[in-house]
Amino acid sequence: MKVGYVYDQIYLEHDTGSHPENSERLVSIMNLLEKSGLKDQLVSLSPRMATESELLANHSQEHITRVESASERGGAWLDGDTFASRASYKAALYSAGGLLRAVDGVLNGEVNSAFALVRPPGHHATRESAMGFCLFNNIAIAAKYAQQQHGLKRVLIVDFDVHQGNGTQESFYQDPDVLYFSSHLYPYYPGTGDVDEIGSGAGKGATVNVPLPGGCGDEEYRRVYEEILAPVARRFQPDIILVSAGYDTHWSDQLAMMQLSVAGFANVVRIIKELADELCNGRLVFTLEGGYNLEAIAYGVKATFDVLLGNSEIDDPLGQPKYGGRAPSIDQLLDRIKKTHQL
């Protein structure tokens, strides 16, 4: 079982200072992978820059120019949350291109699965705007690349970040060939992702949102992925599964209110991997999105690699939530989603 990873020092040059989305996130991940010896079990895939034509598959020329100009001026805020430094445009090209390299690695048979450890993240970026820490929408660009350059027909995008990927949803809202599935805290930033957002036109039904209340943990996420994602994926029959992997659903994350553990991440990844093995010859590519507690994101990513490698033991030094409280019932929510999508 060959598992690839994409990483480069260029991702640390996207300098956001003390912003929650900062370079220490990747530093902590790489330090743990090296310290644990797991990095030696992985295949390194060197990233490349995405081309302008690859960006234009998902973004307007005006947006691309705006990000480039901000970097050329030495840095600027692109919205209230999203900063571009002098090196951010180049880093963003390598971030999108790093995920394309991961897609190539899987589809060309170099590796069975891959994880692009990149930043800036992407799933909030829309066709016209940077937002939510994201400059370009890496996973949307990759989905279109898989279709246009590799000839794939159906792409399933799974997003388990605590925030709904509004940019990804927007990109494929009318597209029946890209199914976007998101589990997220709701109502919460960016305010999108209710159950009745299901796509429109030819894409009606190809957007599946699971808007969860705060306080959901391992058991609730297991149910979401077994009861909603699994039948949706089997009906869709994807040619590849792309995953926006956000680790801000961990109970220790300072920007959210969920109760997932590292073991819970491993279980979600295991369900996704089993679906990829069943439905699309194991074709599975992850890209890093959120996650702001340094220890939680590092162990969450390591757990993801352990599952992809087939390692049975999961390191979870943080354990279960340290504070009590009963998890909310999601029975009615799941019933509503099943009815909406005829599951």
Rg (CA), the chain: 18
**82 near 130, Cβ under 8 Å?**
yes
The Cα–Cα gap between 22 and 33 comes to 18
- Among residues 124, 163, 184, 250, the one annotated as catalytic is 124
The Cα–Cα gap between 1 and 54 comes to 30
* Three-state secondary structure call for residue 222: helix
191 Rama sector, left if φ>0, alpha if ψ -120 to 50, beta otherwise: left
To the query of whether residue 163 is one of the catalytic residues in this protein, the response is no
**115 near 105, Cβ under 8 Å?**
no
The Cα–Cα gap between 291 and 314 comes to 19
In whole angstroms, how far apart are CA 203 and each of 169, 173, 174, 309, 339? 11, 6, 4, 34, 18
The Cα–Cα gap between 228 and 272 comes to 12
Catalytic residues: 124
